[in-house]
Amino acid sequence: MVFRSIVPPHLNSLSLQQALELTYIFLENASKTNDQDIALVLCHEAEVTISQAKSGTKKPALLKDANDQIARGGIATAYIDLGKLLHSRGYQDEAQASYKKAEKWG
């Protein structure tokens, strides 16, 4: 594949900031499409990317300093925004699950 040498091999290699930026790219595009299937795929990719961002971050109970608080807030906000999008698309249960994850990190 042509891009193999320039694209990170896994989401794990992205920084927290990069993972959150990618999450918002997925969410923005999911909100713009009229195709429900594409929107759900993009929402799923956003959630996977948030999960990868979390894997490089301390558990919420261990976050103490300002940088940790910023990371925690970014993850919580991403989950809230994912929940809002899912809610607007009619996926109430999935939206509630996303809001609960936001509470854990927020």
Q: Provide the residue range defining the domain that includes 83.
A: 14-105
Q: In a structure prediction context, what are the per-residue pLDDT tens digits for the chain, which is 106 residues long?
A: 455 555 555 666 788 888 999 999 999 999 999 999 999 999 999 999 998 877 766 555 554 566 677 888 999 999 999 999 999 999 999 999 999 999 998 7
Cα distance between residue 73 and residue 43, in whole Å: 19
| Domain assignment of residue 43, yes or no | yes
| Domain assignment of residue 26, yes or no | yes
| Domain assignment of residue 4, yes or no | no
The pLDDT of residue 14: 80
The pLDDT of residue 101: 94
Domain count, the chain: 1
The pLDDT of residue 42: 96
| Domain assignment of residue 52, yes or no | yes
Cα distance between residue 32 and residue 52, in whole Å: 24
The pLDDT of residue 10: 64
The pLDDT of residue 92: 96
Of the CA atoms within 13 Å of residue 54, those in its CB half-sphere come to 18
